[in-house]
C-alpha cells in the first residue's frame, strides 16, 4: 500500500537519529514533536533557544505552565537536571558548537544542502528567529518537511529561490516520502516510504537523487 508519512511519523523517524547523551534543539513546528518520541533506552538533552536545557516532553493540558515553554511556544514538562539561562547564554551554546543536532522545518533545501526556512513570497514580515544561528552553529542539521508544496511542487531543489537561512548546512532531509542524505557528491536517497518507487520520488524532486546501494523502506 502506497502512503505518505504523517507528521508524527516523520518526527519519529527524525528522533531515531538522536544518539544517547546528545544535545538536541528542536525547531518551530513539526520538529517539536520529536520531544515525545525518543527511542527507549536513550537520554537526550533538549536545548531550547529561549534558555533551557534538559526539559522532558510536551506537557499535557493539566500540567501546562506558560513560563516553561519550548521555542514553539508549547509548554513542556520538567526533568531532573534541567537548567535555565538567558538568551545571550543560550546562543553562545548554539553558535559555540555545544548543540549536537538541530531539527528544523524548511520551505526548500538545495542539492548542496542550502536551507531556506524562514521567508516566503507574500509574507515579508515573518522572521528567521533563531534558525540562522542554529543552522550555522549546530553540529548536524536535520530537516523535517513535506516532500512537496500544497500545489505538488518540489521543495528539494537545485537552487533555493526563497531567502536562505544558511548555505551548505543540511546533513539529512526527512520527508513524508523519503530520507535523503546530503553529501559532497550530491543527494543520496537512503530510504523511501512504503509502496513508492525511486522513479516516483525522483519525479517529485527537482534535484537529482542518487539511490543508495543499501536503499530500503523507511524504518521506524
Residues that bind another protein (CB under 8 A): 28-29, 48-52, 65-69, 71, 73, 84-88, 90-91, 94-95, 114, 118-120, 122-133, 136-137, 163-167
Active site residue 17: no
Nearer residue to another protein within complex by CB, 127 or 152: 127
The one catalytic residue among 7, 17, 40, 49: 49
Nearest-approach distance from CB 111 to another protein, in angstroms: 16
Nearest-approach distance from CB 31 to another protein, in angstroms: 12
Nearer residue to another protein within complex by CB, 41 or 96: 96
Nearest-approach distance from CB 101 to another protein, in angstroms: 17
Nearer residue to another protein within complex by CB, 160 or 193: 160
CA 133/CA 95 separation, integer angstroms: 6
For 127, list phi and psi in degrees, rounded to 5.
-115, 170
89 membership: H or E segment, kind and range: helix 87-95
DSSP for 29-41, written as a single string: SGGGGGGG-PPTT
CA 126 from centroid of its chain's CA atoms: 19
| Conformation bin of residue 111: beta by default, left when phi > 0, alpha when psi is -120 to 50 | alpha
CB distance 117 to 131 below 8 Å: yes
Residues designated as active site: 49
Amino acid at each position: 500500500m502506497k502512503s505518505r508519512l504523517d507528521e508524527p511519523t516523520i518526527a519519529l523517524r527524525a528522533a531515531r537519529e538522536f544518539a544517547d547523551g546528545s544535545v538536541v534543539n528542536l525547531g518551530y513546528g513539526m520538529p517539536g514533536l520529536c520531544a515525545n518520541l525518543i527511542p527507549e533506552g536513550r537520554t537526550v538533552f533538549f536545548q531550547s533557544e529561549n534558555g533551557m536545557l534538559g526539559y522532558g516532553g510536551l506537557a499535557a493540558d493539566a500540567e501546562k505552565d506558560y513560563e516553561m515553554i519550548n521555542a514553539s511556544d508549547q509548554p513542556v514538562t520538567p526533568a531532573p537536571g534541567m537548567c535555565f539561562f538567558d538568551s545571550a547564554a543560550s546562543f553562545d551554546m548554539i553558535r559555540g558548537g555545544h548543540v549536537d543536532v538541530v531539527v528544523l522545518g524548511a520551505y526548500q533545501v538545495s542539492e548542496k544542502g542550502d536551507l531556506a526556512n524562514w521567508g516566503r513570497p507574500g509574507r515579508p514580515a515573518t522572521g528567521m528567529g533563531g534558525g540562522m544561528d542554529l543552522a550555522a552553529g549546530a553540529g548536524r542539521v536535520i530537516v523535517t518537511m513535506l516532500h512537496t508544496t500544497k500545489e505538488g511542487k518540489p521543495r528539494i531543489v537545485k537552487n533555493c529561490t526563497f531567502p536562505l537561512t544558511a548555505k551548505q548546512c543540511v546533513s539529512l532531509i526527512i520527508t513524508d516520502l523519503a530520507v535523503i542524505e546530503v553529501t559532497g557528491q550530491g543527494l543520496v536517497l537512503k530510504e523511501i516510504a512504503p509502496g513508492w518507487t525511486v522513479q516516483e520520488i525522483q519525479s517529485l524532486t527537482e534535484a537529482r537523487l542518487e539511490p543508495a546501494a543499501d536503499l530500503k523502506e523507511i524504518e521506524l
